[in-house]
Structure 1
Amino acid sequence: MTATTRIVSIDHQDWHAAPALPGPASAIAELEEGKVLYFPHLRFDLSAAEIRLLDPALVDPKRKNISLNATTGKLTGVAVEDQRRDAIGALVRRYYETTRGFLEQLLPEYAGRLHAPTTSLRLHRIGTWKMSWRKDDTRLHVDAFPSRPVGDQRIVRVFNNINPHGDTRRWRVGESFDTLAARYLPQLPPYRPGVAWLLDKLHITKSRRSAYDHFMLQLHDRMKADAGYQRDGEQESIEFPPGSTWICFSDQTPHAAMTGQFMLEQTYLLPVSAMAHPERSPQRVLARQAAAAH
């Protein structure tokens, strides 16, 4: 099924200035409705030396991506220990600093509240990394972290296609979170606090899962396992060309990455309390629907 478009295209090229949106709604209003803000011409330029770093052989074979924890400075997933490691670290840190400054312009109401930044450099071509169906991001899903519960936090992601060969990155984008939750919530097993306590004590999770974390993980898995939904669920396809940027709440917007290679991704967490409309958060939607079911 074709969805009413959830893509908001914005003609803007400057990382250091706030863009003008095409309609009366603000960027925050559009994001909090679960839409994707798409900047076709917001390019993150790479130098010739940085382009030479776009080599999948530089990724640790045990990891899917190269990642930087900007808070601690820890860089993981690099397969080499020479000067290229430092160059990769400088590249991903520059992307982090660029997105941080841009979001302060684009989303001033969130200033000072976005935290726990993680920057990823994705070098593998989609479809070449062997993984289980749960980790297969070519299937429509909403983001949830199995080992890192987020509780009352949102997941904001800023993506940029840095492919130097002209390859687009194709996504599928699905229905509203309210509709998605109503579809699957009745099928999900109940939250068991004792299980969450045990997973925390065994250090399987980095903190204790909330009921929200439990339901989001279950929702993530049910979506990916449902072949009928993947084929027939309400969705639209979009091609993100090289030099384009897109932003969404990835815990709210059903999405699937179908094709492409070479991307930078910046992740932030945002407290639900910092939202302009907290009632639109997946946390509040799931709580309302669960309460109505009883």
Structure 2
Amino acid sequence: MPETRTNQEAAVITLPHQDWSDVPLASIDAVAALEQGKVLFFPHLAFNLSEAEKKLLTPELVDPKRKNISYQPEQQKLTGVALADKYEMVQKLLARHHQACQALIISVLPEYRHALHMPTNSLRLHPISAWKASTSWRKDDTRLHVDAFPSRPNYGERILRIFTNINPHGENRLWRVGEPFPELAQRFLPRLKPYSPFISWLQDKIGITKTHRSHYDHLMLQMHDVMKADLEYQKNGPQQAVEFPPGSSWICFSDQTPHAAMAGQFMLEQTFLLPVNAMKTPQNAPLKVLETLLHKPLV
């Protein structure tokens, strides 16, 4: 491991919660830390599964054509379940995790409670090593990256994710966490391809994207790809190894915090979108950072 590492104490903020609705400590401003790109780590915040639910922890449950099982709670829409007789139990499990995440938001990030939208919950059952062996480098999440949606432009809205390690065999989820977003943007911005409004229009018309891809969405997707393609940066760029044991949870803005999942299996993940104007410090949003560097609006 190279010496140019971020300091773990600077990259990760540890919180003592043992319950999803615990009252936070007044001395910790979790919102401010999160908006600076920190990972909020809850080493004792477990999501307990029943004995019947533990039997769901097998990759055979996932549709071979999909990476994960996905649940949209507002539509009660579940996709990616390969075994029809397990459908109802999976839906109840993901609905319960979604409810727990809502309680955690109210407890730790109350400023966001009325602004978060488009929730999606995922059950990740494949070992990272197996998925890495069968996917392209662009989809290889063992490479440091910031999240961007190729087909679903989000026009600068934040991607907030809550992760929970539910591994029943004592296996940690291993991550690498990278440098602050302003430094990342300055590093890679000169290497990104120019934005073409015509290509964006064409991609929308032929169905590659669900809506028109903005200049911001173009840059974030480019950054995602250029980061993953740079093997020297992957090896020697600023980063910190972090372990998330079973029975722990963590939160980050995955569009802002460079991250890579190196090892582990069995995880629950809740995703929300957050408007930039709902942030406590909007200037920390990737949209605002990129607009400041380029001196023009991007959406």
Q: TM-score, normalised by structure 1?
A: 0.96
Q: Contact 1:18 / 1:102 at 8 angstroms: preserved in 2?
A: no
Does residue 71 of structure 1 match 2:71? no
- Decide whether the 8 Å contact of 1:65 with 1:122 is kept in 2: yes
Any idea what SS the aligned residue of 2:84 has? coil
1:105 corresponds to: 107
| RMSD over aligned Cα atoms | 1.0
Is residue 158 of structure 1 aligned with residue 169 of structure 2?
no
Which letter does structure 1 place at the counterpart of 2:14? S
Q: 2:39 aligns with which of 12, 36, 40?
A: 36
Question: Which residue identity lines up with residue 193 of structure 2 in the other structure?
Answer: P
Which position in structure 1 is the counterpart of 2:61?
58
- One-letter code of the match for 1:155? I
The counterpart of 1:18, out of the listed 17, 23, 42, is 23
Aligned pairs for 1:1-294 within 5 A: 1-5=4-8, 6-20=11-25, 24-82=27-85, 84-129=86-131, 130-291=134-295
**Seq. identity, %:** 57
Q: Is the 8 A contact 2:179 2:238 kept in 1?
A: yes
Q: Is the 8 A contact 2:156 2:286 kept in 1?
A: no
In 1: Cα distance, 2:34 partner to 2:72 partner: 24
Runs of 4+ in 1 over 4 A off after TM superposition: none
CA distance in 1, matches of 2:198, 2:277: 27
CA distance in 2, matches of 1:25, 1:99: 19
Mapped partners of 2:75, 2:199: distance in 1: 30
CA contact (8 A) 2:122 2:268 kept: yes
Distance in structure 2 (CA, Å) of the matches to 1:173 and 1:104: 26
Check conservation: 2:71, 2:120, Cα contact below 8 A.
yes
Contact in 1 for aligned 2:283/2:289 (Cα 8 Å):
yes
Q: C-alpha distance in 2, partners of 1:183/1:76?
A: 38
> The residue matched to 1:127 in structure 2 has which SS?
helix
Paired with 2:168 and 2:234, the residues of 1 have a C-alpha distance of 30
Whole-angstrom distance in 2 between the partners of 1:3 and 1:105: 28
Whole-angstrom distance in 2 between the partners of 1:18 and 1:190: 47
Note the alpha carbon deviations across 1:246-276, whole angstroms, 9 max, x for none.
0000000000000000000000000001001
| Distance in 2 between residues matched to 1:18 and 1:289, nearest whole Å | 39
User: Offset of 1:211 from its aligned partner?
Assistant: 0.6
TM, length-normalised to structure 2: 0.95
Asked if the contact 2:72/2:78 (under 8 Å) is kept, the reply is: yes
Tell me by how many angstroms 1:25 deviates: 4.7
- Give, in whole Å, the separation in 2 of the partners of 1:232 and 1:287: 28
Q: Are 1:162 and 1:264, in contact at CA under 8 Å, matched by a contact in 2? A: yes
Structure 2 runs not aligned, ≥5 long: none
SS in 2 for 1:128: helix
The runs of 5 or more residues in structure 1 that have no matched partner are none
Mapped partners of 1:71, 1:239: distance in 2: 32
